[in-house]
Amino acid sequence: MKITKKWLKKLCQEQQLYSTPSCNEVLYLHFKGIEKIENLEEYVNLATLWLEGNAITTIENLDHLEKSLRCLYLQENGIETISGLTSLKALAQVNLSDNQIKSIDQDSFAGLDQLTSVQLCRNRLQDISGLAGLVAIPNLSTLDLTGNNIADVRVLEQVFMKMPSLKVLMLVGNEVIKSMSTIGVPYRFTMVAALETLTYLDDKPVFDDERRAVPAWKAAGGLRLYLERGTLSDDEKRQIKMAAGEAMRVEREAIRVEKEAAHRKNMDDFEQMIRQARIDKGLDPDDCPLFRKTAGAGEEEADEDMPGLEDEEGEDVETGEESAAAGVEGEGETDEPEDGEASPDPAEAVQGDSTFLTTAEDEASEVDVDEVD
């Protein structure tokens, strides 16, 4: 398919865009079988250009969009080399996923100070030297390298650690994740500890608790497992894992205690609000179902230890042994009934507490919930 001015004008009419080329800020040319970018000179104010799903092999003829183009979508084409972008000084986002790109030259993104998001999913990127051009992007905050062939663990220190603004990084589908685990380096802990600006890694965010706890692991020497991977003895690695794991455990326990204290304060404040509302209505503040405890209730449950700290392969970072519970965030697991055991019926559980139901109904006749609110 060849782009002609006549065809573009007809396409704009079909898409209910402006017939005057310079009035258009967006142009949809995706899935048209286009082989070459051409004849767009009159569209001088384009901010977004869709060229997804064509047969384009070269990025060219876009210099006239130097000051306007912010988003360029070129995924699912046949591009092998990144070129023709350096004149687009306003470019903020470019999608080059699902092409045939093997490497990124040092000057591929040179001078693009406004560029913050680059998507290169499912290309043929492999060597660290082929990623050099990414380091030259000063304000890059989102980088998606999902499904490439990157396996060298040095990519962290030679590429990602040189990106001061990196916030979102996608590496799922690259061998580097397995490579780190193979040499005894916890992948996620290492990435979060080394990239202090990171807010999202692979398929989940870097939660606040994780961001707070990982520095304790780092301060206890955890990051040395990566930075000194070629010099540490097995005994040194074991000692570092134990020390770093213990530091992480202590920090996570401190976080748990703080959260529990905050929760109790919130509950106390809520109780005080209800009591005051009952006092204002001339009711007994203590005679409320919310504050009554049925027989056998009221005993504080024993605090459970937070789940063990583990890497992606399920290895406990504190002990170096295999653990049944995996996960950095330490989410709890839901108890499931064993085979043959009937699941409890919530309705039966509620019906069984007739005392509570009776008092609650009596209280409802005395207290207007809307007024309490």
Q: How many residues does the chain have?
A: 373
Average pLDDT (150-169) is: 96
Percent of the chain having pLDDT more than 70?
78
Average pLDDT, the chain: 83
Q: Which of 48-62, 295-309, 325-339, 349-363 has the highest mean pLDDT?
A: 48-62
Q: In angstroms, rounded to a whole number, what is the distance separating the alpha carbons of residues 314 and 184?
A: 12
Using DSSP's 3-state secondary structure scheme, residue 310 falls into: strand
Q: Per-residue pLDDT averaged across 52-78, rounded?
A: 98
Confidence of residue 64 (pLDDT cuts 50, 70, 90): very high
56: confidence class by pLDDT, cuts 50, 70, 90: very high
Q: Give DSSP secondary structure letters for 94-139.
A: EE--SS------TTTTTT-TT--EEE-TTS----GGGGHHHHT-TT
pLDDT at 166 over 90: yes
* For residue 302, pLDDT beyond 50: no
For the CA atoms of 264, 329, 248, 175, what is the dihedral angle to 10 degrees? Answer: -170
Q: What pLDDT was estimated at residue 292?
A: 62
Do residues 163 and 134 make contact, with C-beta atoms less than 8 angstroms apart? yes
Contact status, residue 117 vs residue 146, Cβ threshold 8 Å: no
Q: Could you read off the pLDDT of 122-145 as tens digits, one per residue?
A: 999 999 999 989 999 999 999 999
Please tell me the pTM assigned to this model. 0.75
- Domains observed in the chain: 1-171 (3.80.10.10), 175-291+309-324 (no CATH)
Query: pLDDT value at position 291?
Result: 67
Q: Compute the average pLDDT of residues 107-115.
A: 95
Q: Find the range with the poorest average confidence among 12-16, 37-41, 272-276.
A: 272-276
pLDDT > 90 fraction of the chain, expressed in percent and rounded:
71
pLDDT of residue 352: 41
* Strand, helix or coil for residue 41: coil
pLDDT at 316: 53
Q: Is 92 exposed, middle or buried (0-12, 13-18, 19+ CB in 10 A)?
A: middle
Q: Does residue 307 have a pLDDT over 50? A: no
pLDDT in tens, 339-371: 544 444 444 433 444 433 334 444 434 444 444
Q: What are phi and psi of 7, to 5 degrees?
A: -65, -40
When pLDDT is averaged across residues 294-302 and rounded to a whole number, the result is 43
pLDDT, one tens digit per residue, over 224-269 is: 999 999 999 999 999 999 999 999 999 999 999 999 999 999 998 9
